[in-house]
Amino acid sequence: MRLKISLTGLIQGVGFRPFIHRLASEMSLAGYVQNDSSGVTIETEGNKASLDAFLLRIERDKPELAKIYTLQFSFLNHTGFCGFEIRPSAEGTKKITPVLPDIAICAECQSEIESPDDRRSGYAFTNCTNCGPRYTIITEIPYDRPNTTMAEFNMCAACEKEYTDPDDRRFHAQPIACPECGPDLSLFSIAGKLICKDKEALAKISHIILQGGIIAVKGLGGFHLLCDATNEDAVTDLRKKKKRDEKPMAVMFPSIEGIKKTFNIDALHEQILCSTAKPVLLLGRKPSNILAPSVSLDNDSVGVFLPYTPLHHLLLKILNRPVVATSANLTDEPIIMGDDEAFAGLREIASHILTHERKIQRRCDDSVVKLIAGKMVPFRRSRGFAPVPIPLAFSLPAPVLALGSQMNCTVALGIEDRVYISQHIGDIDSTQTEAFYEETVNDLLKLFNTTPDIVISDMHPGYYSTRYGERYFKEKLNKVQHHYAHILSCMAENSLGNDREVIGIAFDGTGHGTDGTIWGSEIMTASYKGFIRKFHLLPFQLPGGDMAIKDPRRTAFSLLYSAFKKDAQNRAGDLLSAKEQIFLTEMLNKNIRSPLTSSMGRLFDGIAFILGLRRQVSYNAQAAILLEQQAARAVTTEYYDFNLRGEIIDHLPIIRGVVNDRDSGIQICTISRKFHNSIALIIRDTAKLIREETGIKEVVLSGGVFQNAELLLMTLNLLQDSGFKPLVHQLVPPNDGGLSLGQVVSSLGFINST
């Protein structure tokens, strides 16, 4: 395999490239290291185990003066390097002032706040050039103190001395602060009464949390709601008040040791948890552990992370136990970042608010990742990653703005061979999120001081982002098909050159097709210039359209109806009442408000409901996640038959097989495993047909359905066994959070066609 690493930080002129050269040579790895405008790029080849070891040793053995702010890596296909070389610095790329992401507190700052004699002992805003807030405090470029939200604090003499001393760790650390001159912590009652400050405030909120209370804490990119993760009553109370029925909640642990006791983790998990981005990592919990059951209810998987600001460290150290740390937001609204918003919005939820005077310039939610097949797959790329650029294998001819999607939205700006993706905006379901969206587009253009020549949106006429593009960028706007953009995003992050053609598998929930129907199971050939849809699921009806997405019982019944016709009502079990079944049969029969879809996400929903895993859903993809977790419990290579007819994948035999197995008492986990196997086989078989016709061997997997680890692992195995080269997401999410990257590179097709 080939490992590609992009690093930012203090890594130029500190002996970093010679170090990489020595390390690679010692480990007999071939490849190169190169300086470029945003940092250092390394590519190296070897087997997976030695590449993993190489990755771990970069951080561990790096030169003393080198400081790594961010490290992005992906495993790519082998190209055949010969020896290891230090390449001359990349030229031709215009120097873009880098805007750094927020960086978790470094070891040195941590030891200072923990040491009783240090002048920053117990100080919650300690930072240095190696750590601290960046993206969330910058008001404009260049990144200097007057251009941050720290501008209003005047440095004291001691801080000034550190700031101006080239030998000091805080030389030009823009957010530099100390208890003398920097922000203070203030604890308020939710009614707005100041209770106490600083160390006293930390002690007081710890006490409230230990008593089972819920408090709001101002973090880096917004407020969190915190409660004791080991206290079932507290967690249940938080769920009820936040109106968050079942979706698992993220848990912050005081230390990596605590995580090890509760979850089975390996060296790569540990590296991700301890990295400078400190993302939320999704893990399956050990059978018996200290977490309250309500943290994740029916779902096996819990998001876990470590403290990333001095404030979190100080607090968790006192608490000495895991806390639920969930974004403070109201249903459908973005994360709260201002004090006024917090006091008004969290009235019914938190009893107290811990805040401070350092203003948050832009909202930034925690990032969420999962380790699948030894690769870090982002589910949400936000704090700690945004706005680190994604490097492209080619240069864009003009600046491009991509407007993203509707769900899990991000926007992106492409300049030359870099794509700057915004933080997570979320689902655009409220006027507040619409405002956040607009803010983020304008912010990105301002921050990188760019006017786009080309603007790209999705094709869906109902998306807020599409309408936004039509309104503000009409003459520059081009629209790109949703699933094609998914494939392009995965091609781009895998550094595929602009002459490449691949087999693309885009499986997701919904996307607007070029024929006006709802797509979601696209198997295509694709290049940056265009795509040809080769296969897709047999379209089925969604009775009630969006209502069927919210109530997958409708989707399940539609699938049963298409597979069994008149017998569907006998096969539905207790899925629906008799009255509901008659009503839905009527809708399907007469085709009343029942749009056609070929969505793979809907098929997963429907199967989960046919198997009785859920009666309703309370969060996105819930049913499909439970189906995935069932599959993980069974081992079998059996599968259900399917037919390929022309471009149609006929999945009706799969549904009949699932229902027959269910009715003859086969275990649900076995049925789910067989179902997953069938979908992976559909991918392999159709890819083979396309390979026979075109000779293409590279298969790109994208779309939200590929967050399903069971499906992804099975698919990777089958494709590799058949001689394909599968490519997956490691830098941007497979879901719509990655769409803006694909939209940016789709501009190549529009430029060539005009």
Measure the CA–CA gap between 444 and 311, rounded to whole angstroms: 28
* Partner touching 728 among Zn ion, Fe ion, none, CB below 5 to 8 Å by kind: none
Measure the CA–CA gap between 39 and 45, rounded to whole angstroms: 20
CB of 506 to Zn ion, least distance (A): 42
Closest CA to 734 of 400, 483, 479, 495: 483
CB nearer to Zn ion: pick between 113 and 559? 113
Which of 99, 124, 178, 304 is in the footprint of Zn ion by CB under 5 A?
A: 178
CB of 613 to Fe ion, least distance (A): 23
Q: Which of residues 385-444 bind Zn ion (CB under 5 A)?
A: none
> What are φ and ψ of residue 146, in 5° steps?
-65, -20
* Partner touching 508 among Fe ion, Zn ion, none, CB below 5 to 8 Å by kind: Fe ion
Closest CA to 495 of 63, 74, 172: 74
Closest CA to 325 of 422, 209, 186: 209
What the block records as the tokens of 272 is: 């991700």
What the block records as the tokens of 88 is: 């001359």
CB nearer to Fe ion: pick between 423 and 521? 521
Which of 61, 144, 180, 266 is in the footprint of Zn ion by CB under 5 A?
A: 180
* Partner touching 736 among Fe ion, Zn ion, none, CB below 5 to 8 Å by kind: Fe ion
Beta bridge pairs of residue 638 = none
CB nearer to Fe ion: pick between 305 and 484? 484
Quick one: which segment of 79-87, 343-351, 503-511, 654-662 binds Fe ion (CB under 5 A)?
503-511
Residues 6+ positions from 752 with CB-CB distance below 8 Å: 529
Quick one: which segment of 128-136, 286-294, 551-559, 690-698 binds Zn ion (CB under 5 A)?
128-136
Q: What is the CA radius of gyration of the chain?
A: 26
Which of 736, 738, 747, 749 is in the footprint of Fe ion by CB under 5 A?
A: 736
Quick one: which segment of 142-150, 267-275, 364-372, 733-741 binds Fe ion (CB under 5 A)?
733-741
Closest CA to 675 of 734, 729, 610, 719: 610
Omega prior to 387 cis, within 30 of 0: yes
CB nearer to Zn ion: pick between 130 and 405? 130
CB of 309 to Zn ion, least distance (A): 11
CB nearer to Fe ion: pick between 14 and 596? 596
Which of 131, 226, 291, 295 is in the footprint of Zn ion by CB under 5 A?
A: 131
Which of 30, 68, 124, 128 is in the footprint of Zn ion by CB under 5 A?
A: 128
| 458 contacts 403 by C-beta, under 8 angstroms | yes
Q: Looking at this protein, which amino acid is placed at residue 363?
A: R
Q: Which of residues 282-301 bind Fe ion (CB under 5 A)?
A: none
**Residue 124 contacts Zn ion per CB under 5 A:** no
Quick one: which segment of 127-135, 256-264, 340-348, 718-726 binds Zn ion (CB under 5 A)?
127-135
Quick one: which segment of 49-57, 220-228, 491-499, 729-737 binds Fe ion (CB under 5 A)?
729-737
**Residue 141 contacts Zn ion per CB under 5 A:** no
Measure the CA–CA gap between 610 and 508, rounded to whole angstroms: 19
CB nearer to Zn ion: pick between 106 and 718? 106
**Residue 238 contacts Zn ion per CB under 5 A:** no
Measure the CA–CA gap between 437 and 409, rounded to whole angstroms: 8
What x-and-dash track marks residues 77-116 binding Zn ion by CB under 5 A?
A: -----------------------------x--x-------
Measure the CA–CA gap between 134 and 9, rounded to whole angstroms: 13
**Residue 150 contacts Zn ion per CB under 5 A:** no
Please return the burial class of 617, using the count of CB atoms within 10 Å of its CB with bins 0-12, 13-18 and 19+: buried
CB nearer to Zn ion: pick between 109 and 311? 109
**Residue 311 contacts Zn ion per CB under 5 A:** no
The single residue listed with the structure tokens 């700690």 is: 384
Q: How many residues bind Zn ion (CB under 5 A)?
A: 10
* Partner touching 727 among Zn ion, Fe ion, none, CB below 5 to 8 Å by kind: none
CB nearer to Zn ion: pick between 182 and 414? 182
Residues 6+ positions from 371 with CB-CB distance below 8 Å: 268, 269, 272, 281, 377
Omega prior to 88 cis, within 30 of 0: no
Measure the CA–CA gap between 440 and 420, rounded to whole angstroms: 12
**Residue 10 contacts Zn ion per CB under 5 A:** no
CB of 67 to Zn ion, least distance (A): 9
CB of 482 to Fe ion, least distance (A): 6
Kindly compute the dihedral angle of the four CA atoms of residues 504, 505, 511, 512, in this order, to the nearest 10 degrees: 50
Sheet holding 194-197, edge to edge: 194-197, 185-189, 352-356, 215-218, 223-228, 323-327, 251-252, 301-305, 280-284, 368-372, 375-380
Measure the CA–CA gap between 182 and 503, rounded to whole angstroms: 55
What x-and-dash track marks residues 147-176 binding Fe ion by CB under 5 A?
A: ------------------------------
CB nearer to Zn ion: pick between 133 and 404? 133
CB of 602 to Fe ion, least distance (A): 12
CB of 227 to Fe ion, least distance (A): 33
CB of 736 to Fe ion, least distance (A): 4
Measure the CA–CA gap between 159 and 654, rounded to whole angstroms: 68
Closest CA to 347 of 328, 361, 366: 328
CB nearer to Fe ion: pick between 508 and 628? 508
CB of 163 to Zn ion, least distance (A): 9
**Residue 45 contacts Fe ion per CB under 5 A:** no
* Partner touching 180 among Zn ion, Fe ion, none, CB below 5 to 8 Å by kind: Zn ion
What x-and-dash track marks residues 506-525 binding Fe ion by CB under 5 A?
A: --x-----------------
Kindly compute the dihedral angle of the four CA atoms of residues 159, 165, 166, 172, in this order, to the nearest 10 degrees: 30
CB of 107 to Zn ion, least distance (A): 8
Measure the CA–CA gap between 185 and 205, rounded to whole angstroms: 11
| 716 contacts 373 by C-beta, under 8 angstroms | yes
CB of 84 to Zn ion, least distance (A): 32
| 244 contacts 326 by C-beta, under 8 angstroms | yes
Q: How many residues does the chain have?
A: 754
Measure the CA–CA gap between 310 and 308, rounded to whole angstroms: 7
CB of 703 to Fe ion, least distance (A): 6
Measure the CA–CA gap between 608 and 671, rounded to whole angstroms: 10
CB nearer to Fe ion: pick between 475 and 515? 515
Beta bridge pairs of residue 4 = 43, 74
Quick one: which segment of 65-73, 142-150, 152-160, 621-629 binds Zn ion (CB under 5 A)?
152-160
CB of 86 to Fe ion, least distance (A): 41
Q: Which of residues 156-175 bind Zn ion (CB under 5 A)?
A: 156, 159
Strands of 625-744 (E only): list them.
Answer: 643-645, 648-650, 698-702, 725-727
Measure the CA–CA gap between 92 and 635, rounded to whole angstroms: 53
* Partner touching 33 among Zn ion, Fe ion, none, CB below 5 to 8 Å by kind: none
Measure the CA–CA gap between 186 and 352, rounded to whole angstroms: 10
Quick one: which segment of 15-23, 54-62, 505-513, 531-539 binds Fe ion (CB under 5 A)?
505-513
CB of 305 to Zn ion, least distance (A): 19
CB of 170 to Zn ion, least distance (A): 8
What x-and-dash track marks residues 322-361 binding Zn ion by CB under 5 A?
A: ----------------------------------------
Measure the CA–CA gap between 478 and 205, rounded to whole angstroms: 51
DSSP letter assigned to residue 90: P
* Partner touching 56 among Fe ion, Zn ion, none, CB below 5 to 8 Å by kind: none
Binding site for Zn ion (CB under 5 A): 106, 109, 128, 130-131, 156, 159, 178, 180-181
Binding site for Fe ion (CB under 5 A): 508, 736
